[in-house]
Structure formats: structure tokens, C-alpha cells
Structure 1
Amino acid sequence: TLQILLLLLLAAEKRRIDFVDAISPQCSVLEQIEALELLGSAFACREHGICNLEKSFEYFYRALKLRCEHNLPKIQRLSTVEVFDNRQECQTIDELEELRLNDDHMYTEALLVRERLLGPTNTKYCRSLRFCGALLADNAQHNRGVDFWLYELSLRRQYSLSIDINDLRQWASVFSDIICKSISIPIVAWQTIITVIFEELEHNAKNFDYNLHTLLFLITIVSQIVSKSIISHDDHKIFYRHIRIIVQRHYVTQTYGSSLLHLSLNNHTSANDYFIDSICKYPCLHTARLILQCGADVNAIDAIRNTPLHIFVSNSTIVDDTIIQYLCNAGAHLDYVNALGETPIDVAKNSNIKQFLKSRTKLNLKCLCARLIQKNSIFFHGKIANSLINFIEKH
């Protein structure tokens, strides 16, 4: 029955050899074969426990022997996949014997078996792909690990499966690890993840802020690469083109209305991830500069009308004025007020920074007029151009 078959496959997936042996006699020969194959794949996949390729070989061998005895060949894939080195599953015991001394080929065989038996949309199979990629990255085979993650992600997109926000965040983590080891990031992988995050931001309002922070971390990683000039001119153009598109979407957090520029200058911005936090430290001049170079509004306001400059100078741990100088040179207004009527000078915690801001404050006639209108509560809506209304409100 179907219930017995499900129990058999579950036992195989859990490496319960005793249950597999007990249930198998009640199933067909083909069902017994597939249970042995699934059992063999489970022993190769480390998310199920310690990897035991000898056990994996043993059960693959038994399954192939039964297939040969009962003339039940495997159904081959219609096309091969590059991440599996374009391999097909073994059809004979001789082919299996050739894999025995090659661990990588045994892992590939196990994943091919799992895809055939569980299906490309199966959660357990997708988890096996991600786990394999993570192990490769941990063993300094970053590009190979990224290939497995990209394949898993392509399956999710192809079959419209949900994408876990933590899986997307892990991309920022592995990219950070790659940067720490002075290895170049695969540009195709970065482009793919940016595209997926775009899609998630457009359609997944529930986790919007989390995904927006992931996007920020990916931008910061790029800013570190650009600052070190370790990429080609073509890759440089690709990064900038994507970030311009990001900036043009004017994303802000749902909680505080913070733009990417606000977040990049906020000392509370953190991933709580060892690898990401080792690269993405905020406030970050490189990130802010990259975002501004790609067209961000230096005077954007959040939910309580704080500009990025408000956010930055309110940090009491500032040690120099480099970022402030850059913001000022980019056109930051020192006299813009937040919802409490405070200018950046008013919210500055550091006395030296406060003095520096005062030295940079040079009000022009336009700003003086705007402040006068606000100070005297002069009604101006409907009487002036819309482009001026926002300017006056910021004063």
C-alpha cells in the first residue's frame, strides 16, 4: 500500500536500516530498489549525520544488483547539468566501481539519485544541495559551493518555490567570507541574488526590512571590492548599473522609513552574522559613497524626517569627520530639521563634530527664506511651486 511505501522511504531517508529491512518484503522489487538507493544517498549526505561513503556504496551496489537481476534499468535524465559535471547516474556495477575511490563523484551520484527519487521540488533535496554547497565553501572551494547554491536557487525559481530569507542572507555571508580570503566574487552569482532580492522586495512585504538589509550588505560587499580596485572595468560597470537600478527604486524600511543611505550611516545596522559583520561595519563611507555615486538623495528623510546626516552625527562614537565632509560635499543641508525641529547640529553627540558642523554652516538666501517662512508659520501650500514645498518643509 501507499502507506507502507511511504514508511519505507521515510526509514531509508532517516538511515533506519532495521526498518528498511523489516518493511521491504511487503513492497515490490522496484520499491525495494528505490529504498536502497535512497538509503545509499542518505549515507552520503552529511545533513543526515556523519558521511559514510562505504555504506553509500554498499546500498547503491545492492540496488544496482537487483536492477540487473530483474532487468529494471534506471530512467536517465533527458539532459545533464553542469553543476554535476554533466554526469548521469551509474547504470552498471562496473560504472559504480569506478566511482568508489572518488569522493566527489560519489557525492554527485548521491545527489543525482535524490533528484530522481525525491524530485527537483522536494524540500529535502533542495536542502541537500545547499548543504553540499556550504561544505564546499567551508573547505575553501567557494566557487564550487556557489555553483550548487545557484543550481538550488534556479530550481526554486523554475518551479516557483518559496525562497527562505535566511538562505538569501547566507549569500551575503559566503560573499563576505570570499572577500576576507581575497578571492573574487562570481559576478553572475551576485547579479542573480540581486535579481532575486528585487523580486522578493516587490512581492514579499512580510520580510521586506530583512531583505532590504540583505540588499544593503550585498552593496557594502561590492563597495569594498570597488574601493580596493580588484575588479575589471566591465565588472565595475555591471555593479554600478545594478546599484543605480536599486537606488532608483527608492526602497525604505517599513519600520522607520530608512533609505539605504540612512542604513549605511547608522551604527545600529548589523547582520548578527560573523562573516557579514567582519566586512559590513557601519557607518560605512565606502557604502555611502557608492550609493550616492549611483544617484541616491543625500537629503532623503525617514519617518521622523531625519536626513542621513542626522542619523550619522547622532552617533556618539564618531572619531573623525570624513563621512560628514563627504556628505556636505555631496550637497547635504546642515539646516534641515526633523519632526522635532532639530538640525544635524542639534542632534550631534560629539562636541568636535558639532563644532565642525557649525563651521560648515553657510546659509544661502533660499534657506534663510525657507526658515523664516517656517518660523513665522506662514501658510504656503497652494501658493508656490510643488518643488519648493518640500524644500520649505525640510527647514
Structure 2
Amino acid sequence: MKFQRPLILLPLLFAVVFDGETIEGAPPLWCAAAAGHLAVVKLLVRHSANVNSITKTNSTPLRAACFDGHFDIVKFLIEHHADIEIANRHGHTCLMIVCYKGHIKIAKYLLGLKADVNRKSVKGNTALHDCAESGSLEIMKLLLQHGARIEVDSYGMTPLLAASVTGHSHIVEYFKQHVGLVSRKDMVDAMELLGATYVDKKRDMMGALSLWRQAMEERFEDGKPPLPKSVPLMTVAAYNDAREVLTLDELEELVSDPDEIRMQALLIRERILGPVHPDTSYFVRYRGAVYADAGQFDRCISLWNYALDMQQKILEPMNPMTQSSLFSFTELFSFMISEHSRFRNSNSGGRGGRQIPPVAYDDILHVFEKALRELSLGMAHPTAVECSNLLGHMHRTMVLTMNICCLLARHQAFLSKQQSDRLFQYTEKLVQMAPVGNKGYTLLHIACARDSSVAKRYSVCQFPAPELVTLLLRAGHAPNVRDLEGNTALHVAALAKPCTPALARALLDGGVHLDLVNRHDKRFEQLLQDQKVHDLLNAARHTTLMCLAARTINKHSLPYKGVIPARLESFVAMH
């Protein structure tokens, strides 16, 4: 009998891209289950692969099979003791994912195995929420038959409201027809919220008005206690001081005013969802973007500022949503400056023949101040963001703040004295914070790095930015501060491809030392790519006798510690 070597499975883990998302630490069984390769799954299990192995996000092979509806693999894994209740890091179970993806056959199978229909995720949503968000009505019916309860998530959202936010009118209609599942007030809120979704997602204003009319009639239906709206006394300037309609007559007057209908949608969403829900600020920003596309930049800036204020009050510091708002402002201001300049120089219209108005630099200063606040809050509460990516959040916020500052620094000629003074005061405050990002980068390193540009489509704020370097150094930034590789901002500038004379001059005139070496004993001139130092600057003008002496000591490896004054030892070491 021929001896056959047994297959030995090494505990390999992979980083794979699945459905556009990178999955870290995926075991082979997870990969096979996700890809739908039943034969490979069977082979791996037969050779003792752990059916409950997990990725870095705690996703199991069973959950991977559930995602794309591979029923045969789901059945096989469960028959070989896969645990149906293991949730991923967000608390989402296998039942939740099949509800969201609409795989009814797997849902029936899991429910037959007594899967927990009322299990909650980290953010409090249940499988019913997932059905409502995805529009899986038939699965939702199954869940209700198996004892699913109507619960609220951490945002106060019921499955009914979740369906309204996502625009699944058939889910809302099902709840409406089945009296007793939800309260009368919840049903009214759902119809009003669905109407707001019709305005912003479906662009169906007549459909929205019809839903709002039904809700208003239900609020004041004869024989039932009235359900008056609870609206704030103060109006919102960003909403053009619009007030939410309170009667059917007021509602009918909206027909002739599309813009007022749009404001009603924002008011309704904020009243029902509250400022904490991500959709509230998202749709304020969306409406602002629509106004910008129509050339109404003042309306856009007003709405975006309102959304940013909302985010800074509610979200933890340096939240990606707040960063997204700062990024949007950077792009908007860059576009406005670029297009207005093009119009002024060519004496022709802007995009599509439309003249772009000049940007109000007070608007940029206002956003710059908010960026400083975000950075300050993040530094004061470093545990407020996910620890594993704390440095990444910090770096991203620094880069966004520097891009906004760059817009102002590059256009100081257009600023009034009062605006220039405010810019300098804000920059001093920024410099005093002394934040540090990825690779130990300081603000000055970021100002000299080409990849710091975020609005790459426009030339108004491209990095490296000599004007920004000058402003930072004038505001008191330490000139020779180093990153983790021992690089000064001048070393970073050398890698800018190309380094410009203006950048080199700004750094050296601000006190950056020309001869300093990094941790790899490289100077500025040695890091230049396809450039010569004499093409950029007069090196002799920035080299002292002390520099030459220190370089000579290091070149010949001469002993100097204990020989020269102690205060000079660090100076020699830097050369």
C-alpha cells in the first residue's frame, strides 16, 4: 500500500478584497465560503479547518456564505457545527446579514434553527431593522411570525422609521395596514419622514405632499385625540428661517413653492430624527451641494456651516463625517477661487457660461476657525476616536486644516488688514497646539509635502505651499523640528519633485538649517531628485563656519564628546 502524506493546513491568514471591502486576517475557509466554492469548503473542513474561525472583524465563514446567499455552503457549515449566533465586531449576526441582503431561503433555514430574532447589534438595530432598510418585506413577515419585537436602535429608530428613511414605501404601507404593530404617532412620523425622503432622494415633490397631507389628516382625524407637532420656537437661518407647516391650509400653500418644500423636508427630518442621526446632517449637506450646483453658493455655505456646527456639537472629535464636511468646504472654496479667477482673467463666463462670484474670505476664516476647534478638541480628548486609527484621524484633520489655511495664506493680497490679523492670530493658535500626525509629521512637514493637497482638481491650493511655510514660521513654528525619520521640513521639501526655489527660500529664511542630517545621514542636497542645490539657492549664504567645522568632524569621525563644549555636541551630531 502506497503511503500518502496527510494534508497539513497551516494557519494562513489573508487580506482579501470582497465586495469592494478589504477583509484583513481572512482564513482560507472564510475565503472559500465567501467565494461560493463548496468543494473547497468541504475539502478544508475535511482536513480540520475550524468552521468558526474569524477574520480581524470577527466575521466567520458562515457569515461570509450568508452575505452572498450561498445556501449549500451555509447548510454544510452549520451541519458541521458552525455557530449561527457569532456576530461580527459590529454585533451583526448571520440572520441580520441575510435579512439585509434579502436571502429568504437562508432566513427560513436560520429561523428553523431558532436563530435569535431579537438579537441587537452594537448600535441597537435588530434583524427587523435590516429588513426595513433593505426593503425585504417577505423576510420581515417571517421575523414577525417568529416573535420579532419592534425595538428602537441607539438613534431611537424603529424599523418603521428605518424604512421611511430609506424610502421603502411598501414596508411603511405594510405597517399602516397592520394596526397594532406601531402607535398612531409613530405612523404619522413615518409618513412625514417618508415624504422628506421623497423630496431629497426621489425628487418627487407631489408624492411628498401627498404623504404629508395623509399625515396631517391623521393628526387631526375626527374622533381621535389631536397630535399637534412639536416644533421649535426659533427658526434656522440656514433654512431661510422657514417654519414647519402646522395645518392643511398651510400645507396646500406649499404647492407653488418648491424651495419651501425642500426646507420642509429638512425641518421634518431634524424634528423626527434629531441632530444625532447621521442622515440629518447628511441631507443638510446634500441640499447645500444642490444649491452650489445651481450657483447659489451663499445658500450652500450657510447650510454646510449649519451641518458642521451640528456635527461638532454631537459627534466625537475628528469624526470622519466632520472631516468630510471640512473636505467639502476646501473643495468648494478652491472651486470658487479658481473659477472666479478664470473668469476675471479671460473675461468670459465660468462653468457652463455661469459667472462664479468671488469667495468671501470671511467665510474661509470662519471655517478655518472651526477646523482649529476640531483639532483642539481631538487633542484634548485623544480617546474619543478609535484608538487603532487615532494617529490617522489626527493626521487627516491636520491636513484638512492646513489646506484651508493655505487658501488664505496664498491669497493674502485679497485680505483686509482685519482679516490678515485674524488669520495670523488663528495660525498662532494652531502652531501653539503643536499637533503631530503620521510619521511624526508636524504642520511644517505637511506644508512641504506634495501629497498634502486634498483639492487636487484645482491649482489654488497645491502643496508644497511656500506662502503657508512663511506664515507658519512667522507665527512661531519651530523651524528645525524633526519627524520620526529625523527629517526636517527641508528634507521633505527635497522630495517634492521638484523642490522650488521659493519653497527652499521660505524654509531657510525662516530659520530651517541647511546642513542637518536625518537618521539615514542624508542632507537636503543629497535627497534632491534630478536637481542641483545651486539651482535652488546659494548654499554658501546659508552655511556658517560652525556648520563646516561640524561637517568636517563627522566626515573624519573625529572624537568630539568631552572635547568640545557640551552645548555644541548636539550641534555637531545634527551635522
Alpha-carbon offset, residue 120 of structure 1: 2.2
Alpha-carbon offset, residue 369 of structure 1: 4.5
Alpha-carbon offset, residue 305 of structure 1: 2.2
Aligned position for 1:13 = 165
Alpha-carbon offset, residue 237 of structure 1: 1.0
CA distance in 2, matches of 1:134, 1:241: 31
Distance 1:304 1:361, change over 3 A: farther
Alpha-carbon offset, residue 158 of structure 1: 2.9
Aligned position for 2:325 = 167
Aligned position for 2:217 = 65
Range moving further from structure 2, 183-192 or 309-318: 309-318
Conserved 8 A contact 1:40-1:55: yes
CA distance in 2, matches of 1:382, 1:140: 67
CA distance in 2, matches of 1:350, 1:113: 60
- 5+ residue gaps, structure 2, are 1-148, 341-357
Listed one character per residue, the Cα deviations across residues 116-158 of structure 1 (whole Å, up to 9, x for unaligned) are: 2222212222222222222222323223222222222323333
Aligned position for 2:438 = 254
Aligned position for 1:239 = 423
CA distance in 2, matches of 1:114, 1:225: 39
Any residues of structure 2 matched to 1:319-330 within 5 Å, and which?
321-330=501-510
Would you say 1:2 and 2:157 are equivalent positions? no
Would you say 1:96 and 2:277 are equivalent positions? no
Range moving further from structure 2, 135-144 or 86-95: 135-144
Alpha-carbon offset, residue 238 of structure 1: 1.0
Listed one character per residue, the Cα deviations across residues 79-103 of structure 1 (whole Å, up to 9, x for unaligned) are: 3322223332111111112222212
Would you say 1:377 and 2:556 are equivalent positions? no
AA aligned opposite 1:254: N
Listed one character per residue, the Cα deviations across residues 147-176 of structure 1 (whole Å, up to 9, x for unaligned) are: 222222323333355632333333322232
| Aligned counterpart for 1:332 among listed residues 502, 508, 512 | 512
Distance 1:305 1:357, change over 3 A: farther
Range moving further from structure 2, 83-92 or 6-15: 6-15
Distance 1:160 1:314, change over 3 A: closer
Listed one character per residue, the Cα deviations across residues 11-70 of structure 1 (whole Å, up to 9, x for unaligned) are: 332323333223213144433322221121111123xxx311111111111211222324
AA aligned opposite 2:464: P
Conserved 8 A contact 1:178-1:184: no
CA distance in 1, matches of 2:330, 2:379: 16
TM-score calculated relative to the size of structure 2: 0.61
Would you say 1:178 and 2:330 are equivalent positions? no
- Aligned residue for 1:2, secondary structure, equals coil
CA distance in 1, matches of 2:198, 2:218: 19
AA aligned opposite 1:366: M
- Aligned residue for 2:410, secondary structure, equals helix
Distance 1:21 1:382, change over 3 A: farther
CA distance in 2, matches of 1:76, 1:325: 59
Task: Report how many residues are paired.
Answer: 384
CA distance in 2, matches of 1:359, 1:155: 51
CA distance in 1, matches of 2:522, 2:541: 15
Aligned position for 1:128 = 283
CA distance in 2, matches of 1:67, 1:146: 35
AA aligned opposite 1:249: M
Conserved 8 A contact 2:235-2:243: yes
- 5+ residue gaps, structure 1, are none
AA aligned opposite 2:150: L
User: Identity across aligned pairs (percent)?
Assistant: 23
CA distance in 1, matches of 2:192, 2:425: 47
CA distance in 2, matches of 1:380, 1:103: 81
CA distance in 2, matches of 1:234, 1:155: 28
Would you say 1:143 and 2:298 are equivalent positions? yes
Aligned position for 2:395 = 209
- Aligned residue for 1:100, secondary structure, equals helix
CA distance in 2, matches of 1:14, 1:87: 25
| Aligned counterpart for 1:113 among listed residues 243, 268, 271 | 268
Conserved 8 A contact 2:160-2:190: yes
Would you say 1:53 and 2:202 are equivalent positions? no
Listed one character per residue, the Cα deviations across residues 233-286 of structure 1 (whole Å, up to 9, x for unaligned) are: 21111111111111223333332x222222222334343x444x5332222222
CA distance in 2, matches of 1:120, 1:268: 34
Aligned position for 1:394 = 574
Aligned position for 1:156 = 311
Conserved 8 A contact 1:120-1:126: yes
Conserved 8 A contact 1:345-1:358: no
Greater length-normalized contact order (CA 8 Å, ≥ 6 residues apart): 1
Distance 1:118 1:364, change over 3 A: closer
RMSD of Structure 2 on Structure 1 (CA): 2.9
CA distance in 2, matches of 1:331, 1:7: 61
Distance 1:82 1:270, change over 3 A: closer
| Aligned counterpart for 1:220 among listed residues 401, 406, 410 | 406
CA distance in 2, matches of 1:88, 1:118: 17
CA distance in 1, matches of 2:297, 2:563: 57
Aligned position for 1:81 = 236
Range moving further from structure 2, 66-75 or 113-122: 66-75
Would you say 1:267 and 2:450 are equivalent positions? yes
CA distance in 2, matches of 1:381, 1:270: 47
Q: Which runs of 4+ in 1 moved over 6 A?
A: none
| Aligned counterpart for 1:279 among listed residues 460, 473, 479 | 460
Distance 1:9 1:391, change over 3 A: same
- Aligned residue for 2:436, secondary structure, equals coil
Distance 1:266 1:155, change over 3 A: closer
AA aligned opposite 1:119: G
Listed one character per residue, the Cα deviations across residues 324-376 of structure 1 (whole Å, up to 9, x for unaligned) are: 23333333332222223232223333454346556535643433444455441
Aligned position for 1:35 = 190
Distance 1:65 1:316, change over 3 A: closer
Conserved 8 A contact 2:456-2:462: no
Would you say 1:347 and 2:531 are equivalent positions? no
CA distance in 1, matches of 2:212, 2:498: 61
Distance 1:97 1:384, change over 3 A: same
Range moving further from structure 2, 125-134 or 56-65: 125-134
